[in-house]
Amino acid sequence: MADQIPLYPVRSAAAAGHKRAAYYSSAGPGPGADRRGRYQLEEESAHLDEMPLMMSEEGFENDESDYHTLPRARIARRKRGLEWFVCGGWKLLCASCCDWLINVCQRKKELKARTVWLGCPEKSEEKHPRNSIKNQKYNVFTFIPGVLYEQFKFFLNLYFLVVSCSQFVPALKIGYLYTYWAPLGFVLAVTITREAIDEFRRFQRDKEVNSQLYSKLTVRGKVQVKSSDIQVGDLIIVEKNQRIPSDMVFLRTSEKAGSCFIRTDQLDGETDWKLKVAVSCTQRLPALGDLFSISAYVYAQKPQLDIHSFEGTFTREDSDPPVHESLSIENTLWASTIVASGTVIGVVIYTGKETRSVMNTSNPKNKIGLLDLELNQLTKALFLALVVLSVVMVTLQGFAGPWYRNLFRFLLLFSYIIPISLRVNLDMGKAAYGWMIMKDENIPGTVVRTSTIPEELGRLVYLLTDKTGTLTQNEMTFRRLHLGTVSYGADTMDEIQTHVLSSCTQVALVRWTESVGLTLVSRDLSSMQLKTPGGQVLTYCILQVFPFTSESKRMGIIVRDESTAEITFYMKGADVAMSSIVQYNDWLDEECGNMAREGLRTLVVAKKALTEEQYQDFESRYSQAKLSLHDRMLKVAAVVESLERDMELLCLTGVEDQLQADVRPTLEMLRNAGIKIWMLTGDKLETATCIAKSSHLVSRSQDIHIFRPVTSRGEAHLELNAFRRKHDCALVISGDSLEVCLKYYEHELVELACQCPAVVCCRCSPTQKAHIVSLLRQHTGRRTCAIGDGGNDVSMIQAADCGIGIEGKEGKQASLAADFSITQFRHVGRLLMVHGRNSYKRSAALGQFVMHRGLIISTMQAVFSSVFYFASVPLYQGFLMVGYATIYTMFPVFSLVLDQDVKPEMAILYPELYKDLTKGRSLSFKTFLIWVLISIYQGGILMFGALVLFEAEFVHVVAISFTALVLTELLMVALTIRTWHWLMVVAEFLSLGCYVASLAFLNEYFGIGRVSFGAFLDVAFITTVPFLWKVSAITVVSCLPLYILKYLKRKLSPPSYSKLSS
């Protein structure tokens, strides 16, 4: 068989045979070697390393000689030595060193298992952490250093700190201290204030939680105690609707059944209530005070992350014989959950940092937008230009005198090339975009949780989405029942009525049985009653319950019929889990496939009759396994599995999960915008494929390549080569096959998958989802967005460049962890096409304009110094510089955040406009260079114009050039704007008014150099006609050519959006 599968299409059959022989002959001599098992042969990784995956179509046509010389793709890509160090290796080294230092400084105490005596905290052998919640980032001592570090790790801010500090050196002093320290101080004050407010709010929230009062049971009765003062071993009473303050073992409840319900949505994001069972030994005690009359302790495993498992034992010593009871997850009450029924009493086993909820709280990484990184690069380019310009100036001076001091003075004079107002403007812009998103009536309920990355929404190339609850409604409708010989559908059986349900498959089935007359009368921990259509009441005694887990994918119950004493074991679960458990049949797999193709979620139900002896034998082994302290989970699972054999297949059910509103048009819009959509789901392959088709994630005409299940490297190799030959088809792959391919052919798989129009990954675990996101980011360097609605999507959302959470049926965990929270999937379209696009284009324009504002004044300073024999004397003094960056130009420049090239309706109608943004053309070295050239031209014209036209009134050159500069900036803003807003007009006239009004107060600043030569601003002079026409002439020469060029460009080569807006 193996030699009939050509690995590559080649020129001729002879060549193919020759190549195959060359490969297979390495297995051993003789013709029989060709026939060895294909997978056995291909497991030999030495040969597989020699057998590369072809990396291009042309590769298929290569000669046999190339076969062994092509290196594996990813080996060739590794950087070594100095190249690695320069290309980011140094960052990695620094990070590793810092992590090592932090680990050394914060050596964590080793977590150990513990014995907790009821009501006796003093018997505790070890010191346990305080039961206080602390969500603050800093403390009193680390606040200022921490905030300053976060600010000065940016090149821009660090540069300004150095420049400002240099003004304390008399030889380097250029102007007044406040001209440097005021802007820097303002930026830091805003940042520190914002952080302080956030920190104070966190402190208040923590204080509120830590000072909540609880009843603690003591020998003398109940006493009130603060949450933060609770200790391991305390007996705590928690009332209905009260938060559980620490991790406890459930001892007693006011409910007669000995059980209670708790809400866990704040812990795991799931909205369904969980049933918890009290320890039977303590629940049976006559009175509450009797807890102190017994000698008992709880043995608990060491604190760990897993919120779905717990192993422990309860022991009562003073009875004869001693009572041992095994404790599992159903006997625990985790902190941060809420009691939903009754009053509960528990013994505290873990506090503070050791509780499950705190251990599962990870500090999400600070996300930095691509635009910020690009601007940081441009800042470094500007710094380089600054150094070059200063060196040129000193060289032209002829290195006269203390040249190194002059060099530093020039560096300070031209420091406005890099504007400190850049960060202020961008941060204020981001806040404005966030406010606009939340105020948009078309996407109500949208919340911006991370205000630093709204521009990322305009740069997305990959959108990774969950299926259940994100594309679908997570509302189940009962559709089909198959009994082996006959299949009932909603349309063929009158009694089957469809019911829309809120939680899951099980509720759909219970409601349906009620509609056909079988009703659940009552149910407690030990018994249940059912009423038949004929009115007969059946009573069952519940002997054992095996809850559902994501590993087992099934749940079971053992009941005894009270009337006949028959013992029956019922089980239901996913088809993958159940197909190996039920007796052989010829219809289950086929019908599961049929239902999945209809988009239904399947559930298999089976039963097994047990004799009294079989059950007693099982119970003794089960109890023994539950008491073991080591590998309890494995031992319990093994005992239960001994029952799960040869079960009688009862039926197969199918429920439908309907699509959310407007999913199809939204996905189509995103596809037209050039965004590649990947669906990552835990559901089975057929259901995922069906939803992909019905939601139009994969278009009807498109081919689908279903990646065959692979378990070894050889199989993965063959399957990847088969996939390579397909063109323009969607890929469907399961989590297991994905794992194998990523292990051996990571780069090749990602490269192939990225060429697909759509990808569906089914049977994915939460960690696999996050891993796929990380791989896409690493391999493509493109921006990714993850969207989901459940706790299982949190890791994927946090791993992506931009995370969107939907407030769904599964709780709020995803929406709380995300950067943006929405209420419906269809809102994604407007969020990206309108707000994402606008945020990116506005920030790009704003950033470059602020840089232009700094460059133009530095050009004027360079011209001024050149005319004055390269003297390092400032052109503009003190307040003029501060005023220029703030009151005179700030409002018009910032009003660019209101600019838009097309109306929102147009952006949604033509999603193709979004495609342009992913290339990053709004802010690139090309656009930056254009702005640099504009700045040099305008700065040169303004300064030379002032010097040429005002030779007679030379002392007035500062007043003239500065007035022309302010007017030029206001006109440039008007030139940049594409759609006028009334606030923009107000900003322009307000700034002009402020400048004219301030002329009366700032006369002493309009002289040249340190001394003003008595050249105070003469109000009579600035009102003369010559002054007015000369200033106007300079301004017109600096701006008019740019207006003409802009007009010609729009006429000859209009941008895509202008074609629509016209």
Q: What are phi and psi of 250, to 5 degrees?
A: -75, 115
Distance CA 12, CA 17 (A): 9
Q: Which has the closest alpha carbon to 1005: 833, 910, 875, 857?
A: 875
Tokens of 293: 């009359």
Q: What are phi and psi of 704, to 5 degrees?
A: -120, 125
Distance CA 699, CA 664 (A): 10
Burial readout 924-933 (b: 16 or more C-beta within 10 A, e: otherwise): eeeebeebbe
Cis peptide before 31 (omega within 30 of 0): no
886, 1041 in Cβ contact below 8 A? no
What residues contact 258, with CB distance under 8 A and at least 6 apart? 277, 278, 280, 283, 525
Q: How distant, in Å, are the alpha carbons of 39, 573, 740, 974 from that of 554? A: 33, 4, 26, 67
Tokens of 33: 């070697």
**Would strands 213-218 and 221-226 be described as parallel, antiparallel, or unpaired?**
antiparallel
Q: Which has the closest alpha carbon to 641: 568, 563, 581, 586?
A: 581
Q: Which has the closest alpha carbon to 444: 831, 818, 791?
A: 831
Cα end-to-end span (Å), the chain = 65
Tokens of 507: 């509720």
Helix (H) or strand (E) holding 265: helix 265-268
What residues contact 886, with CB distance under 8 A and at least 6 apart? 183, 421
**Would strands 783-788 and 802-806 be described as parallel, antiparallel, or unpaired?**
parallel
Q: Is 207 helix (H, G, I), strand (E, B) or coil?
A: helix
Q: What share of the chain is helix, strand, coil (3-state, %, to 5)?
A: 50, 15, 30
Distance CA 880, CA 1006 (A): 9
Q: Is 304 helix (H, G, I), strand (E, B) or coil?
A: coil
Distance CA 710, CA 725 (A): 18
Q: Distance from CA of residue 56 to its chain's centroid? A: 33
The type of residue at 848 is Q
DSSP per-residue string spanning 525-565: SSEEEEE-TTSPEEEEEEEEEE---TTT-EEEEEEEETTT-
Q: Distance from CA of residue 950 to its chain's centroid? A: 60
Q: Is 313 helix (H, G, I), strand (E, B) or coil?
A: strand
Q: Distance from CA of residue 216 to its chain's centroid? A: 41
Distance CA 603, CA 554 (A): 9
Q: Distance from CA of residue 369 to its chain's centroid? A: 13
Residues marked as catalytic: 466
